[in-house]
Amino acid sequence: MVAACLIVLGGYLLGSMPFGYWVVRWLKGADIREQGSGNIGATNVWRVYGRRLGAPIVLLDIAKGFVPALVGLLVAGQLVGVLAGAAAMAGHWRPLYLKLTKGGKTVATAGGVTFALAPRAAACCLGAWLFFFLLTRYSSVASVVAAVALPLFTWLFGAGWPVVTFGALAAVAVLLLHKANIRRLFQGTESRFEFRRALRA
């Protein structure tokens, strides 16, 4: 019980590490919260600074969901893996190290959790994300589609009830955190990802 609680707490603390904010602050001397969409997540870092900073942030945001979920799974079982992963997502959303202010939208971190707990479902969701991102050039559309697909794929691949429940709740969380993006999509004001600008950066 103590070990499980420590793993879940560790998941929150790891998830709270605002890599997007830290890396931009260290390397560029800027506050990513004052640039682009104001989000500290990988998408905004990539949009503002290109792949050289964006790609490492993607990997770091995935890792901070993957590591606690995998540790929880191996040490204490599937339920603790789910709780540790959910705690990492909560930390990414409201980072302790940024005084619980607005964090990221948890998509990459949720992906990391899913890769630890249900890798085949995660691979399918990643494929859905890439397809819709390349088709539309809207990161928000790709994220929403992948989130909605998550509980379906976990169920289809026979994941245990804690993982399927996590998939459903994670999908709801991602949708809620993308409310503003969805509204802008319907209004036609959502920003598309510019590949050329990102590649030049």
Contact 118, 45 (CB under 8 A): no
pLDDT band with cut points at 50, 70 and 90 for residue 31 = very high
**Residue pointed to by tokens 């940024």:** 98
Q: pLDDT value at position 15?
A: 94
Contact 64, 17 (CB under 8 A): yes
Amino acid at 186: F
pLDDT at 194 over 80: no
Q: Which has the minimum average pLDDT: 35-49, 66-80, 108-122, 125-139?
A: 35-49
Report the alpha-carbon distance of residue 79 to residue 20 in Å, rounded.
29
- Each residue of 128-182: pLDDT tens digit? 999 999 999 898 999 999 999 999 999 999 999 999 999 999 999 999 999 988 9
Report the alpha-carbon distance of residue 87 to residue 171 in Å, rounded.
15
Q: pLDDT value at position 50?
A: 86
More confident residue, 29 or 100: 29
Contact 11, 85 (CB under 8 A): yes
Q: pLDDT value at position 196?
A: 54
pLDDT band with cut points at 50, 70 and 90 for residue 37 = confident
pLDDT band with cut points at 50, 70 and 90 for residue 199 = very low
Contact 170, 177 (CB under 8 A): no
How does 38-58 read in b/e, with b if 16+ C-beta sit within 10 Å? ebbbbbbbbbbbeeebbebbb
Give the mean pLDDT of 33-42. 86
pLDDT at 2 over 60: yes
**Residue pointed to by tokens 């969805």:** 182
Listed by start position, the domains of the chain span 2-200
Residue 105 is given by DSSP the state -
Of 85, 89, 95, the closest CA to residue 18 belongs to 95
Burial of 113 (0-12, 13-18, 19+ CB in 10 A): buried
For the record, the structure tokens of 91 come out as: 């930390």
pLDDT at 112 over 90: yes
- Each residue of 60-108: pLDDT tens digit? 999 999 999 999 999 999 999 999 999 999 999 999 999 888 888 889 9
pLDDT band with cut points at 50, 70 and 90 for residue 201 = very low
Report the alpha-carbon distance of residue 21 to residue 89 in Å, rounded.
16
Give the mean pLDDT of 30-39. 88
Report the alpha-carbon distance of residue 35 to residue 121 in Å, rounded.
34
